Amino acid sequence: MAPATSILSIEDLSIAYDRDKYAVKNVTATVRKNAITAIMGPSGCGKTTLLRAINRMHELYPNISTEGKIKLYGDNIYEMPTIELRRKIGMVFQRPNPFPTMSIYENVIAGYKLNGIHLKRSERDEIVEITLRDVTLWDEVKNALHKKGTFLSGGQQQRLCVARALAFKPEIILLDEPTSALDPVSTAKIEDLLVELKQHYTIILVTHNMSQAARISDNSMFMYLGELIEYEDTKTMFTNPKDPRTEGYLTGKFG
Amino acid sequence: MDSSILQKRKTMTTTTHFGARSFKSRLFFSIVLLFALITISIVFLIIGTLAAKGFRQINWSFFTQVAPDTFDAMMANASGKIIPGGILNGITGTLLLVGLASVIAIPFGIVIGIYLYENATKRYANVIRDITDVLQGVPSIVVGLIVYLWVVVDITKGYSVLAGSVALAIMMLPLIIRSTEESMKMVPTTLKEAAIALGTPYYKVILRVLIPSSFSGLITGVLLAVSRVMGETAPLLLTTLGNSSVNWNLAKPVSAVPLLIWQFYNDPNMVNLIWSSSLFLMGFVLLLNILSKWIAAKKSIQ
Ligand SMILES: Nc1ncnc2c1ncn2[C@@H]1O[C@H](COP(=O)(O)OP(=O)(O)OP(=O)(O)O)[C@@H](O)[C@H]1O
Ligand SMILES: [Mg+2]
């Protein structure tokens, strides 16, 4: 598969939490710009580890070791300051986690606040409104902007978390099973949102839900025991998987 | 199938012994209830006794005048009047001592507590944790002696507010360290990760996310530490001695409510003031405890 314009290239990446116990093994892949790339695979195959390696969140674990490179527009992210990198690559987590001490408004601009970037009142207002519109939350919360974000429903909270990640205008958004804690209606809203967002952002999505990957992703990775087994155009992978393990997973034989 | 048979058997055995077991458990329950009632009644007896014996002395001058001298007290007792004066020197002294002790102990305690939380599994974190436990076990009179040696003899060259506060701060420190670490642990890791994923520098994650998210826990810990040291007497006897008038000079001796209680106890003319002072101290500590419980409860509702 040859991506149209690539934004990120993962080069022979291996990650071990403890010595010689690899969670990700020799993964090489390029990620297409303005597309949704899904990462699938059975539990424990290294999806989260791979995703977190992209914004270097995996480095929070003390004994972790990383080999190989990840390049963002050709620059090795392991040579960039993490603070700068994480502003370019945003992240949304499995469970909605708005800051409970902050209002909805403050949550959206939390990235600026926490980084000590001072904005004028009008700039802040504008960022909050535009970003909340982007995540289709504006109409629901515009009269409650100064209430705590934790008052929202789970699905609304998750959209708020997407807004928080978007407010910095990152290049890439990483999402780790963002709908696994949500009901079907909220899930559908997030899926629509992601399809909308790919016009301006590149999205990498870990999902356990195969039909979700089939519905919204352009490309799909299938991982198994830390290895990237297959990386294809999503349609091709679902209709004509090359590797028997991919086929086994997609047909529900394991996972 | 097998398990359901097993289940039935279990139920049967339980039924057979039902009578005996029920008697034992009722006996056990009664004993627990009895002990609980005794404990509760001790608390009410303390409060009741203090209130009954102390309330007569609690009036406006109790809060606005310093402790009387023994002659005035004797005269009042002889003519059956209430003892004049109050415990203003003790109240202001306690506020000053505890306030300064908090100023010293809170920053130290919170910084060390956060350090322990951040480095939970490191070896030196465990060493610090053990030392903290040892510090908590040091008898308060020993703390007083050491501070006497360090501060009274070497720094202020005499009994002083500073010495008393250092002694109280040393006693508050382990309590604040532990409560800080515990309340940090209550903050979900996902919040910390959310902040880190936004590119937030480490110190800002602590200042803007961890501390605000655990704020009520931190306050609760500080309030409990304050209420623990507020009634300390022995270390103050060795470090700040007492003062018959109000003092705000940190290098001079000062009085404190528990010190006054001790003095009143040693003066047969002042007996009545013991009870009112104890009632006041008890009430204040109780208030702090209720306040910290209230803050903790408000947090858990969120
Ligand atoms: N903090 C950790 N310390 C040690 N090993 C870990 C840690 N986190 C994950 N692992 C191991 O690394 C491997 C990959 O884990 P990872 O979380 O990346 O899998 P995953 O594909 O995201 O699984 P899931 O679908 O359950 O989320 C697993 O074998 C797991 O046990
Ligand atoms: Mg995972």
pLDDT tens, residue by residue, B100-114: 999 999 999 999 999
Output the pLDDT for position A254: 64
Q: Tell how far the Cα of A72 is from the centroid of ligand 1, in angstroms.
A: 24
Q: Which amino acid is at B14?
A: T
The DSSP code sequence of B227-248 is HHHHT--HHHHHHT---SS---
Contacts of B249 (CB under 8 A, 6+ apart): B161
Q: How far away is chain A from the Cα of B222, in angstroms, using its nearest Cα?
A: 20
Beta-sheet pairing, A36-40 with A202-206: parallel
What is the reported pLDDT for A178?
Answer: 95
ipTM of the complex, rounded to two decimals: 0.91
Question: Distance (Å, rounded) from C-alpha A217 to C-alpha A234?
Answer: 6
Indicate the top mutation candidate among A24, A43, A49 to test ligand 1's pocket, ranked by most ligand atoms within 8 A of CB.
Answer: A49
**CB A94: neighbour CB atoms within 10 A?**
16
Inform me whether the pLDDT recorded for B7 exceeds 80. Answer: no
CATH of domain A3-243: 3.40.50.300
Q: By C-alpha distance, which of A241, A176, A196, A144 is closest to A38?
A: A176
Of A59-63, A245-249, B123-127, B261-265, minimum mean pLDDT range: A59-63
- Asked if residue B126 has pLDDT above 80, the reply is yes
Select from A85, A99, A127 the residue whose CB has the most chain B CBs within 10 Å, as the one to mutate to test that interface. Answer: A99
Q: Six-digit token pair at A240? A: 């004509």
The rounded distance, in Å, linking the Cα atoms of B272 and B274 is 5
**Helix B161-185 vs helix B140-147: crossing angle, to nearest 10:** 130
| Per-residue pLDDT tens over the stretch B42-93 | 999 999 999 999 998 899 999 999 999 989 889 988 898 888 889 999 999 9
CA pair distance B273, B284, nearest whole angstrom: 17
| Of B165, B167, B159, the residue nearest B243 (C-alpha) | B159
Q: Which residues surround ligand 2, an ion (CB under 5 A)?
A: A 48
What letter would DSSP give residue B149? Answer: I
| Cβ neighbours of A117 (radius 10 Å) | 11
C-alpha span between B278 and B284 (Å, rounded): 10
CA-A208 nearest atom, ligand 1? 25
Asked whether the beta carbons of residue A84 and residue B197 sit closer than 8 angstroms, the reply is: no
What's the count of helices (H) and strands (E) in chain B, helices before strands? 15, 0
Contacts of A114 in chain B (CB under 8 A): 195, 198, 200, 204-205, 208-209
Q: Which residues line ligand 1 (CB under 6 A)?
A: A 17, 23, 41, 43-49, 61, 208
User: Would you say A148 and A103 are in contact if contact means Cβ atoms under 8 Å apart?
Assistant: yes
- Token pair, residue A107, equals 């949550």
Q: What was the pLDDT predicted at B11?
A: 47
- Average pLDDT over chain A reads 93
Parallel/antiparallel/unpaired status of strands A219-224 and A36-40: parallel
Backbone angles phi, psi at A40, to 5 degrees: -120, 170
Whole-angstrom Cα distance, residue B88 to residue B257?
Answer: 9
A121-134 helix and A154-166 helix, angle to the nearest 10 degrees: 130
* Closest ligand 1 atom number to CA of residue A226: 14
Q: What is the mean pLDDT of residues A177-188?
A: 93
Confidence of residue B20 (pLDDT cuts 50, 70, 90): low
Work out the end-to-end distance of chain B between its first and last CA atoms, rounded to an integer number of angstroms.
Answer: 45
| Tens digits of residue pLDDT in B265-296 | 999 999 889 999 999 999 999 999 999 989 88
Rounded to whole angstroms, how far apart are CA atoms B103 and B96?
A: 10
Band of residue B300 on the pLDDT scale cut at 50, 70, 90: low
Alpha-carbon span B179 to B109, nearest angstrom: 9
- Measured between CA atoms, how close is A110 to chain B, in angstroms? 8
Q: Is B19's pLDDT higher than 90?
A: no
Residue A41 has pLDDT above 60, yes or no: yes
pLDDT of residue A3: 47
Residue of B183, B270, B284 whose CA lies nearest to B230? B284
pLDDT for position A2: 45
Element (H, E) at A233: strand A227-233
CB contact at 8 A, A107 and A99: yes
Which residues of chain B neighbour A85 with C-beta distances below 8 Å? 199
Length of chain B: 302
pLDDT at B5 over 60: no
pLDDT tens-digit readout, A202-243:
999 999 899 999 999 999 999 999 999 999 999 999 999 999
Cβ separation B302–A101 shorter than 8 A: no
Q: Is the pLDDT of residue B14 over 50?
A: no
Min Cα distance A55 → chain B (Å) is: 8
- Where helices occur in A167-202 by DSSP H, the ranges are 184-197
pLDDT band, residue B10 (cuts 50/70/90):
very low
Tokens 């002659």 -> residue: B71
- Tell me the pLDDT tens digit for each residue of A95-154: 999 999 999 999 999 999 998 899 999 999 999 999 999 999 999 999 999 999 888 999
Q: How many angstroms separate the CA atoms of B157 and B159, rounded?
A: 7
Tell me what percent of the residues of chain B surpass a pLDDT of 90. Answer: 77
Give the pLDDT confidence score for residue A87 in this predicted structure: 92
Mutate to test the pocket of ligand 1, among A22, A25, A48, A229 (most ligand atoms within 8 A of CB): A48
Q: Which ligand is nearest to the CA of A49?
A: 1
Q: What is the mean pLDDT of residues A248-255?
A: 79
Q: Domain residues of chain A, as ranges?
A: 3-243
Which residue in chain B has the smallest CA separation from A100? Answer: B213
Query: Which residues of chain A neighbour B199 with C-beta distances below 8 Å?
Result: 82-87, 111, 115, 168
Average pLDDT, rounded, for chain B: 90
